[in-house]
């Protein structure tokens, strides 16, 4: 294993440089982290970003080092970074071990699905890039917006919070849904609703019987293309979905993934938008 790590590190360091004009800059791994760097006025210090970093639009012009959980060390190191900021869930572990051995500062940013978690994320990024004062102001602003949006959501819900089923994928008619402990579960709660399924953690496929038992009032999904996309007509035509209150009312809410689940600077806005979509006001 040690020999493999050494070989990978040597390969990474020998990889051809990309974005030479940004050499020595920051590599940001995690959509929310990239958003925070830009929000702190440090977007021009980024050398590269990962595939989940799609906002703001300027981030998309940066070299892409790969998907958050499937990074290669050579991809990250090829831009010659002076600092790597990475979500705590970045991986795989082998890549993270190589990056830690590369003698380049690597800061893992916590990812907790709450207003306090977003503030901690902003604070950690600010400290890592030398913008602690700006980060303190941004953290306070973001926390305030989330707190206000959550209060408004609870007022909308009143004593009858809606039951919401978050569907990660419906490819081939197979429903992959969120249980507890996920970003989706936390967003549903912040928006004044209840997760329709809570008997497991993470994401799992649901049987038709489980969907019927969940009886969601609304379905929440990410806007996405490709094989994982499910047009509303096809989704509500699935027998198990069609028999639920959500299917009968065609109550399907779709939001851009990073905006909905990123838990970054725009989270308060996302909470407000989701709540309004669920409760109609």
The DSSP symbol for 163 reads: E
Report which secondary-structure segment, H or E, holds 46.
strand 46-49
Among 107, 156, 99, 142, residue whose Cα is nearest residue 274: 156
- pLDDT, tens digit (0-9, with 9 covering 90-100), for 30-72: 999 999 999 999 999 999 999 999 999 999 999 999 999 999 9
- What does the pLDDT look like over 179-227, one tens digit per residue? 999 999 999 999 999 999 999 999 999 999 999 999 999 999 999 655 5
Q: What is the DSSP string of 117-142?
A: HHHHHHHHHHHHTT-HHHHHHHHHHH
CB neighbours of residue 26 within 10 Å: 26
In Å, how far are 40, 199, 215 from 163, measured between CA atoms? 37, 14, 8
Domains, the chain, in order of start with CATH, read 2-135 (3.40.50.1980), 155-279 (3.40.50.1980)
C-alpha neighbours within 13 Å on the C-beta side of residue 34 = 28
Contact indicator for 254, 273 with CB cutoff of 8 Å? no
Q: What is the rounded average pLDDT of the residues 106-132?
A: 98
CA 47, CA 34: separation in Å to the nearest integer?
A: 11
| The CA-based dihedral angle spanning residues 130, 135, 136, 142, taken in that order and rounded to the nearest 10 degrees | -170
CB atoms within 10 A of CB 119: 21
């Amino acid at each position: 294993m040690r020999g493999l790590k050494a070989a990978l590190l040597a390969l990474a360091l020998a990889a051809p440089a990309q974005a030479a004009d940004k050499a020595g800059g920051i590599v940001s791994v995690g959509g929310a982290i990239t958003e925070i760097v830009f929000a702190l006025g440090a977007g021009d210090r980024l050398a590269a970003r990962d595939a989940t970093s799609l906002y703001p639009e300027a981030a998309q012009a940066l070299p892409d080092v790969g998907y958050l959980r499937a990074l290669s060390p050579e991809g990250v190191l090829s831009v010659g970074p002076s600092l790597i900021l990475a979500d705590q869930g970045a991986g795989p572990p082998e890549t993270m071990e190589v990056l830690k051995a590369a003698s380049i500062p690597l800061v893992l940013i916590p990812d907790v699905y709450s207003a306090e978690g977003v503030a901690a994320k902003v604070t950690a990024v600010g400290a890592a890039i030398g913008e602690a004062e700006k980060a303190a102001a941004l953290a306070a602003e973001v926390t305030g917006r989330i707190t206000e949006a959550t209060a408004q959501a609870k007022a909308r819900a009143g004593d009858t919070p809606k039951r919401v089923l978050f569907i990660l994928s419906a490819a081939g008619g197979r429903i992959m849904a969120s249980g507890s402990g996920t970003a989706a579960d936390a967003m549903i709660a912040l928006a004044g609703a209840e997760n329709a399924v809570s008997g497991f953690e993470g994401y799992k496929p649901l049987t038709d019987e489980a969907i019927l038992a969940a009886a969601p009032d609304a379905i929440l999904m990410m806007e996405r293309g490709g094989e994982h996309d499910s047009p509303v007509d096809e989704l509500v035509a699935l027998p198990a979905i069609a028999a639920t209150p959500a299917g009968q009312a065609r109550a399907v809410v779709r939001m851009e993934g990073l905006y909905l689940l990123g838990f970054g600077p725009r989270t308060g806005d996302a909470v407000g938008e989701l709540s309004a979509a669920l409760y109609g006001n």
